Chain A
Amino acid sequence: MPKSPFKTERSIAQLAINERAIVDHCADEALSAQLLEIGLVPGQEVMLLRRGPLGSPVYLKAGKNYLAIRSKEAGQVLLQA
């Protein structure tokens, strides 16, 4: 997975509601393996749909998949600039 040369990258946790972005890579290797299997793949478009009552988890649309992950993990999924 190509790593972006820029230091400050945005993560899914920083998206606004209904904002779309493209996934670049996941900072945590173990997490990336699991995210891949559930359908969150680099190069895919994600859209933040909702945040949970206390800010976590976050509800995403990733391609055709509707997923929810905790905000901590969402912070590990970095987006293309």
Chain B
Amino acid sequence: MKVALVGNPNTGKSSLFNRLTGLSQKVGNFPGVTVDKRTGEMNLGNGQSASVTDLPGAYSLYPTAPDEKIVLEVLANLKHPNFPDVVIYVADAANLERHLLLLTQVADLGLPVVLALNMVDLAEASGIRCYPDRLAKELAMPVMVVNGRTGLGIDALRAALPKARARAKPFYPIPADWQALAAEIQRRWPAPSDYHALLISHHLGLGLPAATDQEQLQALCKRSGLRSIRGQVDETMARYDFIGAVVARSVENVAQSGSATFSERLDRVLMHKVWGSLTFFVILLLLFQAIFTWSKGPMEAIEWSFALGAEWLKVNLPGGWLTDLLTEGVMAGLAGVVVFVPQIALLSFFIALLEESGYMARAVFLSDSVMRKFGLNGRSIVSLISGLACAIPAIMSTRSIRNWRERLITILVTPLMSCSARIPVFMLLVTFVVPGDLYWGFFNLQGLVFMGLYLTGAGAAIFSAWALSKLLKVAGQGFFLLELPSYKMPHWKNVGLTVYEKVVTFVWEAGKMILLISVLLWGLATYGPPSQMRTAEVQARAEAVAAQLDTVATADLMAAKRLEASYAGLLGKTIEPLIAPLGFDWKIGIALITSFAAREVFVGTMATLYSVGSADDGDLKTVGQQMRAAKNAAGLPMYSPAVAAALLIYYLFAMQCMSTAAVVYRETNSWRWPVLQIVYLTALAYLAAWVTYICLA
């Protein structure tokens, strides 16, 4: 048996879903769109089980957003894989006058429905008392009181499902004018009910397989003079009239004190132009701090334990290329995936907290007017700020942006927010541009340059968003209509499940790609044309002996020469003419290539190339010293302020993070966007670096 959970947004549907399915739930995508599809298994209580699909929240079967469209598609298309045998309609007991609208529409499709009244405790607290038996009689369907959080009524719900039947009569009698049209449609494409047939006509061909069918339908509708919106409005009003009467007879409104509710009082502050915005700003700051600082410990622990694991493998496995592949390629790759888990978990946690408590809607409200000028959404600002820590969880968080265009623009510009991986690169290079002891008034010049970089990144992000919003003209989607839920204590089980879900999705889906590219890059940097590699090793050994280097220094020199002779080295030398106008040489070229694994790899690569590969990864001083001593072909210092500045600017704009590309692919469901992003950002980085170099050289 297949069950679907349907209801308005903010009804606690997800709590109920979690109760029914527990850990059996899986998250995927509805085909063709990046809308979360949550499915799971539930027990029916009599030994049988059923599959449950949690459909996105919707206000009616006339969709205004991609996720509302999914609801219509699943419920109106009998051939849809998730088409249910019975629907659990979840409604907020405090606001049945509106919530029952969608219920009557769904029932009119000819589907068996069980009405689950949720949040009854909250309703009672505001003086609203429901009489489920009266309601059941009026609506001619089973009505149960449930509580998604406490589990009240769940067993009764389970038992009611197999017994549910479709209603004999529709709630909304089709107006006389359209009965003929409905009959015509039914004749050619039989539908479970007349309403179903009319919906098909309104949405032109939903669930109809062939294009010719759709043309015929269109012709039919034209002939009958069906005026869509007028019809929709009349239908909605008629339904409301009916529902209003039913609710008046089954729900009691106890006299209220007239004083503001808790949510209203809280909103006086949190929605205030000044205080609200201030609070929002503080919350964003906290968010950033959390992902930036609190994740450091766990991330280091992960890297350390993987390094340990690799060591152990190296010791215990026989030497050879397979062991090397496992320890240096695969283990490092796996570490590169798992290392993101703390940041993803923390961000998902905070965002879930914001959503569950109801605050997120307030944040969207406060930032809407500013964000809209740049084609962004209020939720975009949460993603952008998170991007200052790491773009991966930030891009994953854009899923909550319902408008596809706003979501896409946010995804495309987020990498321009300087993420924390750029910091080691910035720190290393900034010393070449500005000496550390220079001050401008109170301000340390290096610190100012740092800030300048961040501001430039953010500025570029905002400008790109604005430009994209002008270029990406998509057909207008629904008006901005935001419902503000009452403030609630977050349901920790929901929060926990959401975090778990996001982490698993990332590791499983993006992780595969990241691992693949990581191993590839490792291969390129470790292996080279055999003859060249041998020559390099021989040469290195000879040099080491001549300079009387100790074992460590010899190993470093070997590593440097091997990297130069590897495929990555070859590539670096090949692209040298391309990057020469920026003042870069082939060594920088190699670093640019290896940095695609992760930006901070730049430091490690530089270290290896300058024969200090054995130095501690965080030891920027040693690398810096070597770089300072490096000379270019003309005998002048390689890393002049101009070159360093150009390199800084390049790293500021370029998209050098395969993990980001992998996540963008997952979130946009196509290769087009990550490729476009890489091309655009690389071009931007190149141009900006070139201009910088020209100006400073």
In contact, B97 and A32 (Cβ under 8 angstroms): no
What mask results when residues 252 to 265 of chain B are scored 1 for a CB within 8 Å of chain A, else 0? 00000000000110
Bound CA span A55–B370, Å: 11
In contact, A66 and B273 (Cβ under 8 angstroms): no
User: Is residue B484 within 8 Å, beta carbon to beta carbon, of the partner chain?
Assistant: yes
B58 to nearest A CB, angstroms?
A: 9
The stretch of B232-240, B311-319, B563-571 that contacts the partner chain: B232-240
A73 to nearest B CB, angstroms?
A: 5
User: Is residue B444 within 8 Å, beta carbon to beta carbon, of the partner chain?
Assistant: no
In contact, A52 and B101 (Cβ under 8 angstroms): no
Q: Which residues of A have CB within 8 Å of B236?
A: 33, 36-37
What mask results when residues 56 to 73 of chain A are scored 1 for a CB within 8 Å of chain B, else 0? 110101011111111001
Candidates B60, B94, B370, B481; contact of A54 at CB < 8 Å: B370
A46 to nearest B CB, angstroms?
A: 14
Q: Which residues of A have CB within 8 Å of B628?
A: none
Contacts A53-B369, A57-B369: A67 and B483 contacting too (C-beta < 8 A)?
yes
User: Is residue B124 within 8 Å, beta carbon to beta carbon, of the partner chain?
Assistant: no
Q: Which residues of B have CB within 8 Å of A67?
A: 481-484
User: Is residue A49 within 8 Å, beta carbon to beta carbon, of the partner chain?
Assistant: yes
In contact, B484 and A53 (Cβ under 8 angstroms): no
Bound CA span A53–B363, Å: 11
In contact, A30 and B271 (Cβ under 8 angstroms): no
Question: Which label, helix, strand, loop or mixed, suits the secondary structure of the B interface?
Answer: helix
Bound CA span A57–B3, Å: 38
User: Is residue B229 within 8 Å, beta carbon to beta carbon, of the partner chain?
Assistant: yes
Bound CA span A35–B237, Å: 11
Bound CA span A66–B94, Å: 13
User: Is residue B368 within 8 Å, beta carbon to beta carbon, of the partner chain?
Assistant: yes
What mask results when residues 17 to 53 of chain A are scored 1 for a CB within 8 Å of chain B, else 0? 0000000000001111111111101000000011111
Q: Which residues of A have CB within 8 Å of B59?
A: 37-38
In contact, A51 and B479 (Cβ under 8 angstroms): no
In contact, B97 and A64 (Cβ under 8 angstroms): yes
Candidates A35, A50, A63; contact of B481 at CB < 8 Å: A35
A66 to nearest B CB, angstroms?
A: 4
In contact, A65 and B62 (Cβ under 8 angstroms): no
Bound CA span A29–B230, Å: 8
In contact, B97 and A63 (Cβ under 8 angstroms): yes
Q: Which residues of A have CB within 8 Å of B237?
A: 1, 36, 41
Q: Which residues of B have CB within 8 Å of A68?
A: 361, 365, 368, 480-484
B120 to nearest A CB, angstroms?
A: 15
Contacts A33-B232, A53-B273: A39 and B62 contacting too (C-beta < 8 A)?
no
Candidates B229, B365, B483; contact of A52 at CB < 8 Å: B365
In contact, B479 and A59 (Cβ under 8 angstroms): no
Bound CA span A69–B365, Å: 9
Candidates A1, A33, A70; contact of B62 at CB < 8 Å: A33
Beta-carbon contacts under 8 Å, B7-57 to A? none
Beta-carbon contacts under 8 Å, B548-593 to A? none
What mask results when residues 597 to 636 of chain B are scored 1 for a CB within 8 Å of chain A, else 0? 0000000000000000000000000000000000000000
In contact, B98 and A51 (Cβ under 8 angstroms): no
Beta-carbon contacts under 8 Å, B241-280 to A? 263-264, 267, 271-273, 277
User: Is residue B357 within 8 Å, beta carbon to beta carbon, of the partner chain?
Assistant: no
In contact, A53 and B277 (Cβ under 8 angstroms): yes
Bound CA span A37–B229, Å: 13
Beta-carbon contacts under 8 Å, B93-108 to A? 94-95, 97-98, 101
B251 to nearest A CB, angstroms?
A: 11
What residue of chain B has the Cβ atom nearest to residue A67's Cβ? B483
Bound CA span A32–B240, Å: 14
Beta-carbon contacts under 8 Å, B465-491 to A? 478-486
Contacts A38-B59, A50-B267, A67-B482: A33 and B272 contacting too (C-beta < 8 A)?
no
Beta-carbon contacts under 8 Å, B434-482 to A? 478-482
What residue of chain A has the Cβ atom nearest to residue B478's Cβ? A34
User: Is residue B499 within 8 Å, beta carbon to beta carbon, of the partner chain?
Assistant: no
Q: Which residues of A have CB within 8 Å of B677?
A: none
Candidates A59, A64, A65; contact of B271 at CB < 8 Å: A59
In contact, B273 and A51 (Cβ under 8 angstroms): yes
Q: Which residues of B have CB within 8 Å of A69?
A: 479-482
What residue of chain B has the Cβ atom nearest to residue A32's Cβ? B233
B313 to nearest A CB, angstroms?
A: 56
In contact, A52 and B273 (Cβ under 8 angstroms): yes
User: Is residue B64 within 8 Å, beta carbon to beta carbon, of the partner chain?
Assistant: yes
Bound CA span A40–B485, Å: 15
Q: Which residues of A have CB within 8 Å of B64?
A: 34
In contact, A57 and B267 (Cβ under 8 angstroms): no
In contact, B369 and A52 (Cβ under 8 angstroms): yes
Q: Which residues of A have CB within 8 Å of B229?
A: 29-30, 33
User: Is residue B395 within 8 Å, beta carbon to beta carbon, of the partner chain?
Assistant: no
Candidates B62, B361, B369, B484; contact of A56 at CB < 8 Å: B369
What mask results when residues 204 to 232 of chain B are scored 1 for a CB within 8 Å of chain A, else 0? 00000000000000000000000001101
A71 to nearest B CB, angstroms?
A: 9
Contacts A41-B240, A68-B482: A33 and B271 contacting too (C-beta < 8 A)?
no
Bound CA span A35–B229, Å: 13
Bound CA span A49–B95, Å: 19
What residue of chain B has the Cβ atom nearest to residue A76's Cβ? B479
Bound CA span A38–B483, Å: 8
Q: Which residues of A have CB within 8 Å of B368?
A: 52, 56-57, 68, 70
User: Is residue B366 within 8 Å, beta carbon to beta carbon, of the partner chain?
Assistant: yes
Candidates B233, B370, B485; contact of A36 at CB < 8 Å: B233
Q: Which residues of B have CB within 8 Å of A36?
A: 233, 236-237, 240
B72 to nearest A CB, angstroms?
A: 13
Candidates B361, B369, B370, B481; contact of A34 at CB < 8 Å: B481
In contact, B369 and A73 (Cβ under 8 angstroms): no
B621 to nearest A CB, angstroms?
A: 46
Q: Which residues of B have CB within 8 Å of A64?
A: 94-95, 97-98
Bound CA span A39–B230, Å: 18
Q: Which residues of B have CB within 8 Å of A51?
A: 273
Q: Which 8 A-B pairs have the closest CB atoms?
A: A54-B369, A68-B482, A39-B98, A37-B59, A66-B484, A37-B60, A50-B271, A36-B236
Given contacts A30-B229, A36-B240, A59-B267, 6 further A-B contacts (CB under 8 A): A33-B233, A33-B236, A37-B59, A39-B483, A50-B273, A69-B482
> 11 A-B contacts, Cβ less than 8 Å apart?
A30-B479, A31-B479, A33-B233, A35-B481, A52-B368, A53-B273, A54-B369, A57-B368, A59-B271, A68-B368, A69-B480
A residues lining the B interface (CB < 8 Å): 1, 29-39, 41, 49-57, 59, 61, 63-70, 73
